[in-house]
Structure 1
Amino acid sequence: MARTHCPEFFQNRSPVLYADEILGVLLYAPLPKPTRLGYQILLGKLIDCNPDKYVLSQQIKTFDMSSILMLHQFGCAPGHVLLIDMKGVTFTHMTKINPIQLKKFFVYLQEGMPIRLKAMYFINIPSFMDKLLALIKPLMKKELLETMQLFTDKLDDLYKIIPQECFPSDYGGTAESISELIRRRNENFKVNDKFFVDGEKEISDESKRVGKPKDASAIFGVEGTFKKLDID
């Protein structure tokens, strides 16, 4: 049902037709080596730091596309880790966040997304991180909130959790560089254009639902509170 009622996330996903939006602003890409526990790592960061080009719905779309393709190509894993590099993120980026879209995303992430999220690690934390946390914490269940850890630009403590060799060379690791990750991600997305376009058809037909069809307002609420989201 999330795919039906969140077209801003789940439609127009062709990396060929929408290359600038999907490939030009943000990178989400799996790192080649897992953690010691076998968790697959998905790195996320800005490619273009111009806040005028930042759109939250496009970030969510790119994140979901990267995650789903990772599952398709890597298969199941004991768990997944999000490594979010906030270098280049400004307060202007935060002011462009759409609260309703943010709420939709956290419902999808916690109730419907088919990844086993074990941890969220944020690095290069900006000075306004407390304001961002104030915005997202009310949307997070206790279990998700407990997976989140913040790190400064010094990664020594994070290396104790994720082996240093797992990191791209830009972070002092031995894995391929960020520029190479971007190149490979772009190529991989474009080769799998049909995979993404076909996925747009995977939506529910609310006209066939037994009982009253559900619309977005019934699921997410117009006052800003969520009701339970049923994921088909």
Structure 2
Amino acid sequence: MTTPNIRPLSEHLQEVAIKKLNERPERLAEDLEALKTWAIKEPHLNVRLDDQWLVALLRGCKFSLEKAKSKLDWYYTLKTKYPDYYTVQNPDVPNLRELVKYGVGLSLPIPLNETGPRIIFIRVGIYPIDKYKLKDILTVTYAQTELTMLSDDTAVVNGFVNLVDAAKANAAHLAQYTPTILKKSLCFAEKALPLRQSSVHFFNVPAGFEKPYNMIKPMLSSKQKDRIFIHGNNLETLYAHIPKKYMPIQYGGENGCLDELEKSTFQQYLDHRDFFIEDVKYRNNEDLRVGKQPDYESSFGIEGSFRKIDVD
């Protein structure tokens, strides 16, 4: 059997992968082959089968083949059904730098507690609403998850923490978090995303933030609710979870300069230009699916009632 074409993990991450993700290095080629064989035999699937891509999926699913199959199917099902939402359709648009600046979470260089989850720093509400809609911004947000799966072994193995500065989110920004957009985001996290979020911390929260949050709450499992922390302007409660040293330099920490991280993140997009161009050829053909087609409307339909989503 061919040796998998993947990056070797660091000694620490390999130990975590074995202990917590059920990874068996001696069985890795077999596990990848099993997932590829299944995907090739499914008539409706036309998915990326690169080893590095699939091993991120397996690690995110703790090497449950059945869960990995479901995530892979839903990943491309959603990208096929809603290409203008989950996909950067043209990496050569002149405003890509702006979209990346406004929509991408910045991966801070030092993981939490040095060897823990990746910290992804997000500033919501910084985009000009007279120029962009939330949907425009979210396309690069989802594209960034793909780049993370491809290139960030820490996030793939240890998961990630979202650190969200909401200081500049005004009422107009918050109003764009409609029920349909919230459903799409949560459904993607539940059904398709193999990266594991351990917690999300909101701080500098403005007035009016409660409305979209209260809209989300009925859709969350108790486990997911327990992972959400809203700190308001009380940074001491934030530091109890994420010590100040792990904040960006602009916030008094030691964990990267945001200006430099913006430049390097945009460069990452440029470096993966071919990846995004090739991405459009990987799409499902639902006419060939054997069995019941996904019920999109119950998840995304405006008329549909809110459904509780269990996030693993």
| TM-score, L = length of structure 2 | 0.66
The answer to whether residue 147 in structure 2 is matched with residue 69 in structure 1 is: yes
The answer to whether residue 305 in structure 2 is matched with residue 225 in structure 1 is: yes
Deviation at 1:154, TM superposition (A): 4.0
Q: With CA pairs under 8 Å and 6+ residues apart, which has the higher RCO, 1 or 2?
A: 1
CA 1:180–1:47: 2 relative to 1, 3 Å: farther
CA 1:202–1:163: 2 relative to 1, 3 Å: farther
Deviation at 1:212, TM superposition (A): 5.2
The answer to whether residue 290 in structure 2 is matched with residue 210 in structure 1 is: yes
Question: Tell me, what secondary structure is at the counterpart of 1:25?
Answer: helix
CA 1:101–1:157: 2 relative to 1, 3 Å: closer
Deviation at 1:69, TM superposition (A): 0.9
- Determine the structure 2 residue equivalent to 1:149: 229
Name the count of aligned residue pairs.
229
* Alpha-carbon distance between aligned partners in 2 of 1:191 and 1:184, rounded to the nearest angstrom: 10
Contact 1:51/1:92 (CA < 8 Å) preserved in 2?
yes
Mapping of residues 114-133 of structure 1, within 5 Å: 114-133=194-213
* Alpha-carbon distance between aligned partners in 2 of 1:33 and 1:13, rounded to the nearest angstrom: 31
The answer to whether residue 106 in structure 2 is matched with residue 26 in structure 1 is: no
Stretch of structure 1 that moved more, 50-59 or 216-225: 216-225
Deviation at 1:47, TM superposition (A): 7.7
Name stretches of at least 5 consecutive residues in structure 2 with no aligned partner: 1-76
Deviation at 1:97, TM superposition (A): 2.8
The one-letter code of the counterpart of 2:83 is P
Deviation at 1:123, TM superposition (A): 1.2
Stretch of structure 1 that moved more, 152-161 or 172-181: 152-161
Deviation at 1:40, TM superposition (A): 0.9
The answer to whether residue 220 in structure 2 is matched with residue 135 in structure 1 is: no
Aligned Cα root-mean-square deviation (Å): 2.5
Mapping of residues 156-171 of structure 1, within 5 Å: 156-171=236-251
Name stretches of at least 5 consecutive residues in structure 1 with no aligned partner: none
- Determine the structure 2 residue equivalent to 1:100: 180
CA 1:92–1:227: 2 relative to 1, 3 Å: closer
- Determine the structure 2 residue equivalent to 1:196: 276
- Determine the structure 2 residue equivalent to 1:53: 131
**Could you say which structure has the higher strand fraction?**
1
CA 1:228–1:212: 2 relative to 1, 3 Å: farther
Question: Tell me, what secondary structure is at the counterpart of 1:89?
Answer: coil
Q: 1:179 aligns with which of 225, 246, 259?
A: 259
Contact 2:245/2:253 (CA < 8 Å) preserved in 1?
yes
* Alpha-carbon distance between aligned partners in 2 of 1:132 and 1:214, rounded to the nearest angstrom: 27
* Alpha-carbon distance between aligned partners in 2 of 1:221 and 1:71, rounded to the nearest angstrom: 29
Deviation at 1:222, TM superposition (A): 5.3
Question: Tell me, what secondary structure is at the counterpart of 2:130?
Answer: helix
| TM-score, L = length of structure 1 | 0.86
* Alpha-carbon distance between aligned partners in 2 of 1:228 and 1:172, rounded to the nearest angstrom: 38
Deviation at 1:215, TM superposition (A): 6.5
